[in-house]
Amino acid sequence: MKNFVFNLTVVFQLFVFTITLYYLGLSLFGLYRKKDNGSSKCKPEKRFALIVAAHNEETVISEIIESLKELDYPKKLYDIFIIADNCTDNTAKIANQYDDVSVFERNVPEKRGKGYALEWMFAKIFAMDKKYDSIAIFDADNLVSKNFLTEMNYKLLQGYKVVQGYIDSKNPNDSWITGSYSIAFWTANRLFQLARANVGLSNQIGGTGFCMDTEILRKLGWGATCLTEDLEFTCKLVLNGHKVGWAHNALVYDEKPLTLKQSWNQRKRWMQGFTDVSCRFFGKLIKKAFKEKDFVSLDCAFYTVQPFVTVLLGISALLTLVQNNMQQGANIFVINYLFNPWVWKTFSILQFLFTPLIMLLENKLSKVMFGVFSLYSLNVLIGGFILSDSPEFYQVATYTTCYLLIFVLLLYIFDKKHSLKIFAWYLLYGIYTVTWIPITIQGILDKNNKEWSHTKHVRKMSIQELE
């Protein structure tokens, strides 16, 4: 029985390790960021329809409208449209107070959700006498950088039909949950979005802060009314031979959920939609990838199966714990036996520091704090000298706790609360990451539940406070 569990654990850990290596290899291309100032020299040509989908957003609707009205782009080349979708508050009333803003009220309770609201609005845009080259999509809680349309115009003139902007965080310092969300988005923007752009793959639409060529949208049809309409439309684009472009300098600030409960519900909805899209598009993408030798489709297919990969990661972790209980000592990683211990320890340190390095490159972390994380990561090496080759679990736990408390005490002495909060929130980011496993399992089980779960937005702030 021990050999069976051992071998099974090896298989799952090697699978997880292989997936990690693939995404690690891809992410390395995100370390390089080309300096591109071409947008500032590019003549404004594209005409945009800016659509904001809003459901009971009276608290934040004014801020998104004001940030859009202040864009550094000729006012004659863009118009603002607000969808007050099944609202029971003053969203429409507040939006109607602004000049040059068109407000459309939609009341279809049986078809609630952003996907349905956008499809309804697109039909109205297509029927207008005034024509637009591109349609940009935003959420009501967003704030938009002044250069957004300048960057989008530049990318569209390069030939892209759909372009995703950089989704930043509006409130990274509000709670450990908003901090974790922010870290996740900052790293994903650099390691996966920028990386894919650098190697010529298709980027992923992020639900907000993106624009679409009007004719492509009319030709393919939106039809994306599931809980993750952005992923669904991305798959349709890739299947039809289009790649989503990436505009790293076009920032959209998004409000992140404050509590674990809000975060749980939002991420569960994402995983429900992910699972739904994966079941419908994975096979088509794989078929196109092998039939046409198209790596773009293959990469997109891998992206759609994230829920199932997450579950496999959870199974691997569970098998690891079972293996640990059946063996002596606390060496829980079976694949340690396949590598030199120093290779594994070095890999562990680099893995721990990779995210802080990206935060440093994105100007989200100071050099001092990166140094703190670097010192903390050495616990892997120091523990190797202090502990025996096969330490008991309580010995590992005691050592880890003492090492952590020393760092907490030193940070409190030298920098009081600021550095301590950053340090603590990064460690808590690990807990946020682990919660993806039960959330994903729930999402897979509820994939056929299409009921929209609205996240209430309460963070009022202006674009001037962020730029």
Amino acid 381: pLDDT: 79
Read off the DSSP letter of residue 64: H
Selection from 86-95, 228-237, 395-404 with the highest mean pLDDT: 86-95
Q: What is the pLDDT of residues 209-220, one digit of tens each?
A: 999 999 999 998
| Residue 419, burial from CB neighbour count under 10 angstroms (0-12, 13-18, 19+) | middle
- Comparing 101 with 318, the larger pLDDT belongs to 101
**Confidence band (pLDDT; 50, 70, 90) for 332?**
very low
Contact 324, 392 (CB under 8 A): no
Please give the helix or strand (H or E) that residue 381 lies within, else none: helix 379-386
Is the model's pLDDT at 272 over the cut of 50?
Answer: yes
Amino acid 101: pLDDT: 95
Is the model's pLDDT at 334 over the cut of 50?
Answer: no
- Comparing 185 with 424, the larger pLDDT belongs to 185
**Confidence band (pLDDT; 50, 70, 90) for 187?**
very high
Amino acid 324: pLDDT: 54
What residues does each domain of the chain span?
Answer: 2-13+307-439, 36-304
Strands 101-106 and 162-169: unpaired
Is the model's pLDDT at 154 over the cut of 80?
Answer: yes
| pTM of the shown model | 0.87
Mean pLDDT of 365-372: 90
The CATH code for residues 36-304 is 3.90.550.10
Amino acid 401: pLDDT: 87
Is the model's pLDDT at 460 over the cut of 70?
Answer: no
Mean pLDDT of 152-175: 94
Percent of the chain with pLDDT over 70: 84
Contact 139, 207 (CB under 8 A): yes
- Comparing 81 with 227, the larger pLDDT belongs to 81
| Residue 409, burial from CB neighbour count under 10 angstroms (0-12, 13-18, 19+) | exposed
Mean pLDDT of 127-147: 95
The mean pLDDT value of the chain amounts to 85
Mean pLDDT of 293-319: 82
